[in-house]
């Protein structure tokens, strides 16, 4: 069955980015001039996804406004003949069919995904985490979908991470099947460095079969007292095969201040109008 729906959990409180996130969703923080969540929605659309459900919470209204039509702004740009900006603004509201649902309590990623049960129905679906932005030649989710077409079961997007970082991620016990593809033998959420089965980490992209909802309904809270998607996937693995796909591309953890700054620098250097001036500035401060 073709994967047409993607879930983007965006209910987190963004405490790592306070005070910026006191009254503003972290998903709206820009990389150069585009909110991080727009990069995710664009990746979904360019991967062939048709419907997107964003799981929001309180204080997330500006996400809905961002993907809606901006009547006053469009009128003003039209009157001032600012065609380029008008096209840019209109493009955002017609990017995709976007739906919203609120996660009423922050009970973890697994609980957020469970909120999508009715929207998803009985189809395989994608999950895209907003803290993970991937710069790649083929969109990251497209790479996973191509792998899904071959294996027709749940696929986790993974990459190797430094050993000292394994405790930040869901980690898989891999069995190599072919270039970039592993069968998942086991998985664990945020293991201690010395107990980690590998350094192959789940990095914010998943294709999951709908059976996960039956499991999530009964998944007990795990690490940090939250209902963990990784724990539910571990139970799913006992009923169906799960594969991991090592995707190509540079992944940025934009939920982390350093990762956010790295993404900002790299994306700015890709912009023709900023590249030369910004590079000159960077060289100057590095040599000072
Ligand atoms: C979540 C998942 C984790 C995954 C990570 C990727 O953790 O629970 O399995 O490896 O995203 O970024 P979080 O970063 O929300 O703590």
At 22-76, the pLDDT tens digits run: 999 999 999 999 999 999 999 999 999 999 999 998 888 999 999 999 999 999 9
State if residue 199 touches ligand 1 by the CB under 6 angstroms criterion.
no
Query: Helices then strands (H, E): number in the chain?
Result: 11, 13
What's the pLDDT at 204? 96
149 in any annotated domain: yes
Number of structural domains the chain divides into? 1
Tell me, yes or no, whether 71 lies in a domain: yes
Ligand 1 center to 33 CA (angstroms): 25
Residues of the chain where predicted confidence (pLDDT) is lower than 70: none
For residue 145, how far is its CA from the centre of ligand 1 (angstroms)? Answer: 20
> Domain for residue 281, yes or no?
no
Q: Evaluate whether 132 touches 244 at the Cβ level (below 8 Å).
A: no
State the first-to-last Cα distance of the chain, in angstroms, to the nearest integer.
Answer: 57
- Using the mean position of ligand 1's atoms as its centre, give its distance from the Cα of residue 201 in Å: 9
Considering the domain boundaries, does residue 95 fall inside one? yes
* Ligand 1 atom 7 nearest Cα: 169
Q: Give the list of residues 6+ apart from residue 137 with CB closer than 8 angstroms, or none.
A: 248, 249
Enter the DSSP assignment of 29.
Answer: -
CA 267 / ligand 1 centre spacing (Å):
23
Rounded to 5, what percent of the chain is helix, strand, coil? 40, 25, 35
pLDDT at 105: 87
Question: Is the Cβ atom of 231 under 6 angstroms away from ligand 1?
Answer: no
189 in contact with ligand 1, CB cutoff 6 A: yes
pLDDT of the residue at 168: 95
Whether 265 is covered by a domain: the verdict is no
The Cα–Cα gap between 253 and 197 comes to 22
The separation between CA 20 and the C-alpha centre of its own chain, rounded to angstroms, equals 20
Residue 124 — φ and ψ, nearest 5°?
Answer: -70, 150
Per DSSP, the residues of 146-180 read HHHHHH-SEEEEEEE--GGGGGGSEEEEEEEEETT
Report angle CA 234, 236, 239 to the nearest 5 degrees.
120
Residue 287: per-residue pLDDT: 84
Looking at residue 12, its pLDDT comes to 86
pLDDT value at position 58? 83
Contact 7, 51 (CB under 8 A): no
In order of 90, 169, 220, the CA distances from 158 in angstroms are 34, 10, 25
Residue 128 is assigned to a structural domain of this protein? yes
| Residue 21 domain flag | yes
CATH of the domain at 15: 3.90.550.10
Residue 280 lies in a domain: no
* pTM for the model: 0.94
Q: Which domain holds residue 126?
A: 5-255
């Amino acid at each position: 069955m073709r994967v047409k729906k993607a879930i983007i959990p965006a209910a987190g409180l963004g405490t790592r980015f306070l005070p910026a996130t006191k009254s503003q969703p972290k998903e709206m923080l820009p990389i150069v001039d585009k909110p991080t969540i727009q990069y995710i929605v664009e990746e979904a659309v360019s991967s062939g996804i048709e419907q997107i459900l964003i799981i929001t919470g309180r204080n997330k209204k500006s996400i809905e406004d961002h993907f809606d039509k901006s009547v006053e702004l469009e009128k003003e740009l039209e009157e001032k003949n600012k065609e380029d900006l008008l096209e840019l603004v209109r493009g955002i509201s017609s990017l995709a069919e976007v739906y919203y649902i609120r996660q009423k309590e922050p009970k973890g990623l697994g609980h957020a995904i469970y909120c999508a049960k009715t929207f998803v129905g009985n189809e395989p679906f994608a999950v895209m985490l907003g803290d993970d932005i991937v710069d790649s030649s083929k969109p990251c989710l497209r790479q996973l979908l191509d792998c899904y077409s071959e294996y027709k079961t749940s696929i986790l997007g993974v990459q190797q991470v430094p050993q000292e970082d394994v405790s930040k991620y869901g980690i898989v016990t891999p069995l190599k099947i072919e270039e970039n593809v592993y069968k998942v033998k086991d998985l664990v959420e945020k293991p201690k460095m010395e107990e980690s089965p590998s350094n192959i980490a789940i990095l914010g992209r998943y294709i999951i079969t709908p059976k996960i909802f039956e499991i999530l309904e009964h998944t007990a809270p795990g690490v940090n007292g939250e209902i963990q998607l990784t724990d539910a996937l571990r139970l799913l693995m006992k009923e169906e095969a799960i594969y991991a796909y090592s995707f190509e591309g540079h992944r940025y953890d934009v939920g982390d201040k350093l990762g956010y700054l790295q993404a900002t620098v790299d994306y700015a250097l890709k912009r023709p109008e900023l590249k030369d001036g910004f590079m000159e500035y960077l060289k100057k401060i590095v040599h000072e």
